Structure 1
């Protein structure tokens, strides 16, 4: 890099190294190179991979154009980019150190240069206990566009996986899990947990460059490390179950947090049924075999509620035509008295323990149907924003809703799309997130959509 015309004072100290590189350290906080950094071109959500070699090793970002390059030694992609394109400011994604190339000058700013501090925070947001107690907050991005941290959209363009994105948002509003991912040291955790922590921190960042983030980096890792999960599973409930079970299996700390906040227990009573026939072999009745009755206790992350059989309607049906049912009736499945017919006989469910965060799943799809989306159960579920269960009061904080998009060919099944509605606890407003789109939602109208998953938080006593 030519020093001609440069206004800053160069105050270099040569640091001997074991290798072949000698580092020059700049400590003057007023650098002319700052003017070449283009924050609005920077985006740190995609996978950290060199755009030339496709390697993820020793990857840097050019802070002038936003492209990713490998290395900084002579003839590396980053070095050549600095020479050929006259772009000189780079940051290392692992160390977050900033360098001037091709001179290999390390900038030691000591946190004094605001633009570098903002960039470091954008790559790897950090928080303390005091600041998260006031979350969510009204924030401004680089274009002075307002957003509420924790209530930002997830860009679906790269992955197309809105089902997984709504689960990421849902889990980021389970406060014990969120707080661990925001404050906990995940350096020695599994790679999945590291990447989940990064995206959760970005969702709750008060210093976003844009009013949305992308889940591309996390999804790229899952698509390679957990083959077939994203390709074959498009149901938010299945993705939720896979994610919480995987997190619990890979991190003892997260397992403890998830178990204490999201896991309950249910008693299942199964009674076999036998056919009674007369002397001529004619069927008389079914009779319960009480002597063979069995009781087991199971843990659950999510309670599945069964909707009543759905009547057929015309294609132009609207919300006034659709059958409705109260959530309290659906929950009576778990009162220990209501019997359900199953293949093996009769079954009853009784809640033993309800967790701090109660997650409900409304079963709308018949997996065995030839067109499960077209034939789904569209019954509307009536609910208020407060729920009494097991002598506890719950408040609704998240509502995942389903929408069907018609296919081009009439004979083909429809396509599912997913969005999530989240409660802002500070002003009691509901915010609907659909991709990167955000809008306020009237609380009284939430039930008029196809509710699929809900999160209820137990009120403190």
Structure 2
């Protein structure tokens, strides 16, 4: 006998019953979900995945420093907290990142190697596209098409604070005494073949560590979506110190030319270069060739007076050698004892600031050292150089500093030069193969200068600075600023090296002094003492 239902009780049919909300996510429930249930489940999953993305604080993120766990100092499996910016190791239940997510209520982390983002302590991956800018900030990537446009198309970029900057023209942090490293990196970053090689270098994680650091730094300098309009070379400087066995470090300012030569040769080795010409991008860009002719001093022609130039005696024994080079060293005339007239027929600085008159010399006069007719004495021999092959880019080193164990002196002679169409081919022999293409001229693209009268610190045989040497602080200071009232005075002893860079898309010149980046007039290049110049062949 069937029981009658009470009045108001609804009839629940198994066919029309709805499963419990928790059962819909239970793997033990055997049911065929409808399309609407799948859609609602995916939406719910997306909401859960993006739950903590609003806590990401890009203003706290800085990926320029060494990737070490802030607790264990380990560099294995390091994650960055996207809320506070600190580095922690692992994401397991016993890891530092896991404890940080619980203790500080920070939940979004990204692996600095795989660039995968996770939410902790739930430990699920986040694939939202809103994190792509953070991934690009950690490891910028470039396409061949984009790289080809860097020298012709340049659009201003903006950082998180709305500060405008141009990719490639960003400041580098001054960690301690590393202005000489910053100047060299800024100059090399605008040598097109070297820059393109570093931006497009494949399998960067498999390259030598120094090459990883140089390429990573240059890629960030040219990145159009920086969080800040400057980059810190912390990882690069640390690897340079380790790789050079502390020859270049932060204890004192080093010689930028010595650092440049070491860096180019080390990068050449890391790029699988050999002794052959053109075996690496470094040699294909900077390597030229000259012919050196040697003769003992007692075999040279006799001079009637000391002022008569030294000449080789072709009737006696001569030794010749073809020598490759990465840079041309230019000797300045000796510093005069009495500065009443200029040297080498140039004009004289009037010295309005109270300084003595400074002699001047033309760059083409210094280049005569390599024309095959100028003979000079070196190490007890008479030598003359003849250029045979000019590279695509020429590095000129103007030797300003004379150093000994106790004395370091700077030659303040001003070098005059043209910014465009300098005829380097005039010092080539008439039968040189380079002249088959016609008259060869070069344009200046980078100029590293030494500011102030403070010379380089004298060093011992191992390259270490002598403790007894205490350089005097230069009295001169420079005022710079972007607006009328906001200006900053920087003593020359704090940043002795600056670099002037030609911006190819706009054909304007910029002065870069560590974090400072300012447009300048081309005439300003001649106010500082040129030390290293990089010329590009037309």
> Shorter-chain TM-score: which interval?
0.7 to 0.9
Q: 1:288 to 1:395 in 2, by over 3 A?
A: closer
Q: 1:350 to 1:160 in 2, by over 3 A?
A: same
TM-score by length of 1: 0.85
Among 303, 317, 321, the residue aligned to 2:328: 303
Distance 1:90 1:207 in 2: 21
Q: 1:55 to 1:318 in 2, by over 3 A?
A: farther
Matched, 1:175 2:192: yes
SS in 2 for 1:179: helix
Distance 1:377 1:405 in 2: 9
Q: Report the equivalent of 1:281.
A: none
Cα deviation, residue 264, structure 1? 0.4
Matched, 1:241 2:261: yes
Q: Report the equivalent of 1:160.
A: 177
SS in 1 for 2:248: helix
Matched, 1:438 2:517: yes
Runs of 4+ aligned residues of structure 1 deviating over 4 Å after TM superposition are 11-14, 25-30, 286-289, 312-320
Q: Report the equivalent of 2:102.
A: 83
SS in 1 for 2:137: helix
Q: Report the equivalent of 1:360.
A: 396
The answer on whether the counterparts of 1:233 and 1:239 sit within 8 Å (CA) in structure 2 is no
Q: Report the equivalent of 1:293.
A: 318
Matched, 1:117 2:196: no
Cα deviation, residue 247, structure 1? 1.0
Cα deviation, residue 312, structure 1? 4.8
Cα deviation, residue 304, structure 1? 0.5
Aligned residues: 423
Q: 1:92 to 1:287 in 2, by over 3 A?
A: closer
Distance 2:397 2:271 in 1: 25
Q: Which of these two proteins has the greater Rg computed from alpha carbons?
A: 2
Alignment of 1:246-395 (within 5 A): 246-252=266-272, 255-274=279-298, 290=314, 291-312=316-337, 321-368=357-404, 370-372=406-408, 375-386=409-420, 387-390=422-425, 391-395=439-443
The answer on whether the counterparts of 1:99 and 1:105 sit within 8 Å (CA) in structure 2 is yes
Q: 1:357 to 1:84 in 2, by over 3 A?
A: same
Q: Report the equivalent of 1:184.
A: 201
Q: 1:426 to 1:12 in 2, by over 3 A?
A: farther
SS in 1 for 2:297: strand
The answer on whether the counterparts of 2:49 and 2:126 sit within 8 Å (CA) in structure 1 is no
Q: 1:36 to 1:13 in 2, by over 3 A?
A: farther
- The runs of 5 or more residues in structure 1 that have no matched partner are 1-10, 15-24, 277-285
SS in 2 for 1:299: strand
Distance 1:330 1:425 in 2: 27
Distance 1:69 1:226 in 2: 29
Q: 1:189 to 1:47 in 2, by over 3 A?
A: same
Matched, 1:137 2:172: no
Cα deviation, residue 29, structure 1? 9.5
Deviations 1:261-313 (A, max 9, x none): 1110111111212189xxxxxxxxx9955422111111111110001111258
- The runs of 5 or more residues in structure 2 that have no matched partner are 1-23, 28-43, 301-309, 340-350, 426-438, 456-468, 473-492
Q: Report the equivalent of 1:282.
A: none
Distance 2:25 2:510 in 1: 52
Cα deviation, residue 159, structure 1? 4.2
Q: Report the equivalent of 1:70.
A: 89
The answer on whether the counterparts of 2:178 and 2:253 sit within 8 Å (CA) in structure 1 is no
Greater strand proportion: 1
Q: Report the equivalent of 1:417.
A: 496
Q: 1:28 to 1:225 in 2, by over 3 A?
A: farther
Distance 2:295 2:48 in 1: 76
Cα deviation, residue 443, structure 1? 0.4
The answer on whether the counterparts of 2:410 and 2:454 sit within 8 Å (CA) in structure 1 is no
Distance 1:91 1:40 in 2: 16
